[in-house]
Amino acid sequence: MAEIIIGTSGYYYDEWVGPVYPEGTKKKDYLACYSELFPTVELNFSYYQKPEAAKLAKMLSDGGPNLTFSIKAHQTLTHEIEAHKWEGEATEYLKAIEPLLEAKRLEAVLFEFPYKFHYTPENRKYLDRLLTYFQGVPVAVEFRTVDWYTEKVIETMKSRNVSLVSLDMPDLPKLPPSMDVVTSPLAYIRLHGRNKEAWWGKDGHARYDYLYADSEVEAWVGRIKRITEQAQRILVYFNNHPNGKAARNAQTLEKMLRKIGLITDREGREMNNGGKSSLPS
Residue 84 lies in a domain: yes
Domain total of the chain: 1
* 33-89 residue pLDDT tens: 999 999 999 999 999 999 999 999 999 999 999 999 999 999 999 999 999 999 999
Torsion sign over Cα 175, 178, 179, 185: positive
The boundaries of the domain holding residue 90 are 3-275
40-43, strands of its sheet edge to edge: 163-164, 139-142, 106-112, 68-72, 40-43, 3-9, 233-238, 186-191, 166-168
Residue pLDDT tens, the chain, 281 long: 899 999 999 999 999 999 999 999 999 999 999 999 999 999 999 999 999 999 999 999 999 999 999 999 999 999 999 999 999 999 999 999 999 999 999 999 999 999 999 999 999 999 999 999 999 999 999 999 999 999 999 999 999 999 999 999 999 999 999 889 999 999 999 999 999 999 998 888 899 999 999 999 999 999 999 999 999 999 999 999 999 999 999 999 999 999 999 998 665 567 764 444 333 32
pLDDT given at position 271: 77
Q: Residues 72, 44: contact at Cβ < 8 Å?
A: yes
Tell which residue, 185, 113, 201, has the closest CA to residue 149.
113
Residue whose C-alpha is closest to residue 245's, from 197, 194, 202 = 194
How many Å apart are CA 48 and CA 74, to the nearest integer? 6
Q: Is residue 281 part of a domain?
A: no
CB atoms within 10 A of CB 215: 7
160: domain CATH number is 3.20.20.410
Q: Specify if 280 maps to a domain.
A: no
Number of H helices, E strands in the chain: 11, 9
Q: What is the DSSP letter of 15?
A: G
Tell me: the pLDDT tens digits for 106-115?
Answer: 999 999 999 9
3-state helix, strand, coil in the chain (%, to 5): 40, 15, 45
Q: How far apart are the first and last CA of the chain?
A: 33
Q: How much is the pLDDT for 272? A: 64
71: which strand partners?
Answer: 43, 109
Distance in angstroms (rounded) separating the CA atoms of residues 180 and 224: 9
Alpha-carbon gap, residue 276 to 106, rounded angstroms? 31
Q: DSSP letter at 21?
A: B
Question: Would 32 be classed as within a structural domain?
Answer: yes
pTM: 0.94
Q: Is 20 contained in some domain?
A: yes
Q: How far apart are CA 228 and CA 128, in angstroms?
A: 28
The 10 Å Cβ neighbour count of residue 5 is 19
